[in-house]
């Protein structure tokens, strides 16, 4: 049975590095956490957000006002634990109403040792981040003065390699094909901070999936019996990840590759492109992206703070998707090597599922490579 309700009278504070202080009520685990403060505009899917490894090192502000109304369940986590540094909401629900709920949002945050704050003006926080850009902050259930000192001496988000925090420490296989069904393709997934739904969607398409740590040498993987490689999403600044870029250079042109989010940025960097930081990032489930091949516009799920500089792409690279809000690069293909990559999250979770077709394109890329056609 789910415990219903709790009483919280303790104050909590969110302090931003520009000196702003937002006061509210404490919920979740009583602690102090520092991170880059970002906002997400999705209306549902808070459990998926909380457990998305791409949020490692970040304090997440949800713009939708009511959070926790359907509780926490066993089906919607995108990793084995909560990944955010802190959680900021306008109103949190103490009495969820959903038959699959096993615990409240508050109970989940306590069990995961994540600090939360509610009763704050999330609109004001979001407007500040949009106007000033994302910035470091501290969420505290304790004294403000101590929190200020901690924030002043904290390591900046852009200076931390979070891949070493979130990647698996050993390889593992995902799922078992039903009965005597033979796998259509064998796919290796580099775990930079992957979401489980990527693995679910590959499995549902008949793929046998092997997940490996981010630093697994490319030469070892090329000697394995695999049909394609997926470079997963993940947290942090791609400029810190030269070791992943060098590893990917060895893979390019040798085997079909799909990159998602950070994996897309790593593939682009391996081809010589540069990346830059966005002012406040793209995080939510309502970002319009145009597929330049078909002309169709899709509403996409996104979670990234960096983008590719289109002017630095090599001659073989072609932009395949663009963001209609700011014209940033949302996808790439290559004329000479079997590669597709996308900045947005085709696996959603949370967000619209319209973009799962990109996994079908990846399967098509592997099939073409198998029969000797190669390329797109």
Q: For residues 234 and 261, what is the distance between their CA atoms, to the nearest angstrom?
A: 7
Q: Which two tokens stand for residue 164?
A: 């070493």
Q: Which two tokens stand for residue 3?
A: 């415990």
Domain 11-159 grouped into CATH 3.40.228.10:
no
Question: What pLDDT is recorded for position 340?
Answer: 97
Q: What is the pLDDT along the chain (376 residues), one digit of tens a residue?
A: 344 445 556 999 999 999 999 999 999 999 999 999 999 999 999 999 999 999 999 999 999 999 999 999 999 999 999 999 999 999 999 999 999 999 999 999 999 999 999 999 999 999 999 999 999 999 999 999 999 999 999 999 999 999 999 999 999 999 766 555 678 899 999 999 999 999 999 999 999 999 999 999 999 999 888 999 999 999 999 999 999 999 999 999 999 999 999 999 999 999 999 999 999 999 999 999 999 999 999 999 999 999 999 999 998 999 999 999 999 999 999 999 999 999 999 999 998 888 999 999 999 999 999 887 544 4
The β-bridge relationship of strands 58-62 and 32-40 is parallel
Question: What pLDDT is recorded for position 176?
Answer: 66
Peptide bond before residue 350 is cis, with ω within 30 degrees of 0? yes
Out of 17, 141, 261, 334, pick the active-site residue.
Answer: 261
The owner of tokens 């489980």 is 196
The domain 163-370: what is its CATH number? 3.40.50.880
Out of 141, 264, 304, 345, pick the active-site residue.
Answer: 345
Indicate the domain borders of the chain: 11-159, 163-370
SS3 content of the chain, % helix, strand, coil (to 5): 25, 30, 40
Active site residue 347: yes
Active site residue 207: no
pLDDT per position as a tens digit, 131-142: 999 999 999 999
Query: Are 223 and 253 contacting, i.e. CB atoms less than 8 angstroms apart?
Result: no
Nearest-10 Cα torsion for 194, 158, 16, 113:
40
Question: What pLDDT is recorded for position 372?
Answer: 76
Q: For residues 246 and 67, what is the distance between their CA atoms, to the nearest angstrom?
A: 41
Question: What pLDDT is recorded for position 276?
Answer: 98
Q: Which two tokens stand for residue 120?
A: 């704050």
Spell out the alpha helix ranges (H) of the chain: 46-50, 105-112, 122-132, 144-152, 163-166, 196-204, 218-222, 242-251, 262-270, 357-370
Active site residue 76: no
β-strand partners of 189: 211, 230
Measured N-to-C along each axis, helices 262-270 and 242-251 cross at an angle, to the nearest 10 degrees, of: 70
Question: What pLDDT is recorded for position 374?
Answer: 44
Q: For residues 209 and 258, what is the distance between their CA atoms, to the nearest angstrom?
A: 14
Measured from the Cβ of residue 82, the count of other Cβ atoms closer than 10 Å reads 23
């Amino acid at each position: 049975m789910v415990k219903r309700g709790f009483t919280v009278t303790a104050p909590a504070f969110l302090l931003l590095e520009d000196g702003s202080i937002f006061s509210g009520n404490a919920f979740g685990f009583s602690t102090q956490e520092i991170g880059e403060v970002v906002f997400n505009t999705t209306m549902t899917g808070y459990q998926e957000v909380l457990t998305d490894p791409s949020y490692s090192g970040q304090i997440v502000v949800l713009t939708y006002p009511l959070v926790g109304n359907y509780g926490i369940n066993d089906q919607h986590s995108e990793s084995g634990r909560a990944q955010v540094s802190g959680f900021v909401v306008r109103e949190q629900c103490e009495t969820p109403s959903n038959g699959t709920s096993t615990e409240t949002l508050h109970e989940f945050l306590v069990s995961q040792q994540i600090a939360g704050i509610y009763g704050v003006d999330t609109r004001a926080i979001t407007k500040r981040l949009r106007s000033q850009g994302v910035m470091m902050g501290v969420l505290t259930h304790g004294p403000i003065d101590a929190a200020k000192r901690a924030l002043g001496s904290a390591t900046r988000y852009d200076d931390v390699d979070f891949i070493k925090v979130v990647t698996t420490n050993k390889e593992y296989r995902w799922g078992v094909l039903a009965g005597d069904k033979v796998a259509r393709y064998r796919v290796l997934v580099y775990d930079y901070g992957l979401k489980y739904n990527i693995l679910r969607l590959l499995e549902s398409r008949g793929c046998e999936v092997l997940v490996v740590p981010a630093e697994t040498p490319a030469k070892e993987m090329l000697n394995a019996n695999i049909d394609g490689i997926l470079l997963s999403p993940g947290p942090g600044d791609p400029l810190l990840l030269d070791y992943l870029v060098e590893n990917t250079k060895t893979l390019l042109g040798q085997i079909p590759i799909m990159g998602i989010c950070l994996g897309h940025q790593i593939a682009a960097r391996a081809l010589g492109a540069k990346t830059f930081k966005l002012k406040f990032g793209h995080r939510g489930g309502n970002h319009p992206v145009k597929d330049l091949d078909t002309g169709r516009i899709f509403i996409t799920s996104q979670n990234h703070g960096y983008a590719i500089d289109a002017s630095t792409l090599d001659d073989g690279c072609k932009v395949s998707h663009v963001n209609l809000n700011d014209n940033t690069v949302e996808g790439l293909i290559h004329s000479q090597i079997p590669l597709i990559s996308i900045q947005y999250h085709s696996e959603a979770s949370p967000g619209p599922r319209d973009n799962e077709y990109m996994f079908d394109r990846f399967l098509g890329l592997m099939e073409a490579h198998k029969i000797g056609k190669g390329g797109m």
